[in-house]
Amino acid sequence: MKFSLVQSLPSEGVDVVGDVHGEIDALKALIRVLGYDASGRHPEGRNLVFVGDLCDRGPDSPAVVDWVRRGRDAGRVFCVLGNHELNVMRGQRKDGNDWFYGDVSPEGERYLPFQMLPSAEQKGIHAFFDSLPIALEGPSLRVVHAAWHPSVERLRTMSLSPMEAFSEIDVAFKSEIANRTLASLAAEEKTPWQSHMHDEHHPPPALRFTAEWNAQLQMGNPIRVMTSGIERVTQEPFFAGGAWRFVERAPWWADYTDPIPVLFGHYWRRWNHAPSKPKTPFGPNLFYGIPPDAWFGAANQVFCCDFSVGGRFVERKAGRHSGFEGRLGALRWPERDLYFDDGTCIPTQQYLGAR
């Protein structure tokens, strides 16, 4: 059976949920706020749409993934692939995904306690992730995890699962002579600094070939771009996610002028009224100066639904049990109202500041 990496979205009556990151209690609370029952049915026939990153960091990733999978299989729930699901499919041990592998890495101890996935269920989770589209699209709305990019047109022509497509694209990219040469130069350049790459207290210098290779590798695969965004060479390495980084995120929406709005997650938007800062631990603050309830971008046609619920593990470690800063949000379409798991509901607005 042919698989489409860009699938159809219901034309109206959808509630687009931001990154859940294993926060099952927040998910249950949000679906109640939105008027759904415990199995995801809505009395008005609305549909839930998830922007990906269902898992990692939170206390019960298996429960979140199982709930979404059941709803998807019943035809009531839609979901796109996020970079955290892609990491699991690629077998990459990343920050916060120990739940899938059945043991706890030294880095993963800071997320304890969390529910482990029984090893017998790994294959089924992998198959579910590999059945998710990279993007959803309707006549009046697009949904993607991190970035809507012109390279989506390449994905439209492929009748492969996400992992099949990812592997095919990566193999072709890495086989090109220029890319093989750059990869070799980057490896040689990085060798003397290998012991520093995961040491926050010993920063390496700006490695030119390493940075350029990382940027080109990211941008050379549309699945990478759409699940983790546009990246560019940074002027100064920074430490994030347990490693020194040589590329930084870039605001793809500054060039998005299509008339169809895009909803996405990934970028850890913050909901508070304190002045934002121009830099974050992940590089530039892409939302600097933009109100958290605002649409933005070149044509004010994009909205990020990720309000950092994935950071609640930090607040719980500090002793907080309610009133979290990190929230789970959902954008109701076509109404454009924003709902949170604590019951708050506000209308969104157009960003009228500098673009």
How much is the average pLDDT of 168-193? 94
How does DSSP classify residue 233? Answer: E
User: On the CB side of 125, how many CA atoms lie within 13 Å of its CA?
Assistant: 28
So what's the pLDDT on residue 169? 97
Is the peptide bond prior to 113 cis by the omega test (within 30 degrees of 0)? yes
> Which of these ranges, 59-68, 77-86, 108-117, has the smallest mean pLDDT?
108-117
> Which of these ranges, 56-65, 187-196, 239-248, has the smallest mean pLDDT?
239-248
Note the residue count of the chain: 355
Which pair of structure tokens corresponds to residue 10? Answer: 């219901």
Q: For 90-111, how does the pLDDT look when each residue is reduced to its tens digit (9 = 90+)?
A: 999 988 999 999 899 888 899 9
Q: What is the DSSP string of 60-100?
A: -HHHHHHHHHHHHHTTSEEE---HHHHHHHTT---TT-HHH
Q: For 14-47, how does the pLDDT look when each residue is reduced to its tens digit (9 = 90+)?
A: 999 999 999 999 999 999 999 999 999 999 999 9
pLDDT band of 354, cuts 50, 70, 90: very low
H or E element: which one contains 7?
strand 6-8
> Which of these ranges, 13-22, 58-67, 75-84, 193-202, has the smallest mean pLDDT?
193-202
pLDDT band of 355, cuts 50, 70, 90: very low
pLDDT band of 281, cuts 50, 70, 90: low
So what's the pLDDT on residue 69? 98
Domains and CATH numbers, the chain: 6-158+250-350 (3.60.21.10)
Tokens 């009228």 found at? 352
Give the E-state strand segments of 129-284 in sequence order.
Answer: 135-137, 142-144, 231-240, 243-249, 262-264, 279-280, 283-284
pLDDT band of 350, cuts 50, 70, 90: confident
